[in-house]
Amino acid sequence: MLYRITVYLLGMFINFFGVALVIHATLGAGFWTSFFIGLSDLAGLTVGFWYGLFQFLVIFLNGSLMKQKPEYGAVLPIILESFILDFWLEIVFSSVQLTAAPLMVKVAILIAGMVAIGLGVAIYILPQFPRAPFDQLFLVISARFNLSLQMGQTSVAIVMATLALMIGGPVGVGTIALVFLLGPIIQFWYERAYPMYYMLYPTQAPHEEYL
């Protein structure tokens, strides 16, 4: 259990380190993060607070769409992710300002951030603890409306990016890049992390569920 928890937390920290890099590249944050940054600028409080609040609400949305009881087991991941996100944004990167940095530097940071996000997600889903409600939302919408996973993800991405743009969130080329490239990056890391995880964790590996 300690091994699984360690891998889970490591993945979360790497994931949100990548999120912080993408935000500070100032070329446009992810579609969810752009919305929460917009809310933070508009109404105050931290990005992590809004991230946690909306994740909590999505628990009930997912349950309603699937006509099932809300998955309360996702509350702990929500709390962890909210604190980890604020750890990177409000403490580690609080004094970082790259607005005046050369374009090539921003692009390099954006790419590094996307790579880190993909690696982090690939790692933290391996222990098979409850996934964040946002991750489940794509699956729920796809199942509820008989859409492909790609179409479900794209639909949510378009809606959230539009809402972020309406409230002044940092929507840009980075947002578009994440919509189209994050899935393949996660796939790349997952296919490599999966055998390593179960090599170090000698138990019967479950059926592989690539994203």
Say yes or no to pLDDT of 75 above 90: no
Is residue 78 in a domain? Answer: yes
User: Is 140 a member of any domain?
Assistant: yes
- Domain interval for residue 70: 2-94+102-200
pLDDT greater than 50 at residue 207: no
Please tell me what DSSP assigns to residue 164. H
**Closest by Cα among 173, 205, 204, 158 to 32:** 158
Per-residue confidence at 211, pLDDT binned at 50, 70, 90?
Answer: very low
Q: Is residue 110 situated within a structural domain?
A: yes
pLDDT digits (tens, 9 = 90+) for 13-24: 999 999 999 999
**Minimum mean pLDDT among 76-85, 123-132, 198-207: which range?**
198-207
Q: How far apart are CA 169 and CA 74, in angstroms?
A: 26
pLDDT in tens, 150-165: 677 778 888 888 899 8
**pLDDT tens track for 27-60:** 988 888 899 999 999 988 899 899 889 989 989 9
Do residues 126 and 14 make contact, with C-beta atoms less than 8 angstroms apart? no
Domain membership of residue 125 (yes or no) is yes
The model's pLDDT over 117-134, given as tens digits with 9 standing for 90+, comes to 989 988 988 887 877 788
Answer yes or no: is 180 within a domain. yes
pTM: 0.81
Q: Which residue has the higher pLDDT, 123 or 148?
A: 123
Q: What is the pLDDT of residue 209?
A: 46
For residue 208, the model assigns a pLDDT of 47
Tokens encoding 10? 């490591």
Q: Is the confidence at residue 135, as pLDDT, over 80? A: no
Q: Which long-range contacts (CB under 8 A, 24 or more apart) does 68-75 make?
A: 71/130, 71/133, 71/136, 73/130, 74/130, 74/131, 74/132, 74/133, 74/136
Question: Domain tally for the chain?
Answer: 1
205 occurs within a structural domain? no
Task: Write down the pLDDT at residue 166.
Answer: 92
Q: Per-residue pLDDT tens for 87-116?
A: 999 999 988 888 888 999 999 999 999 999
Q: Which element (helix H / strand E) includes 69?
A: none
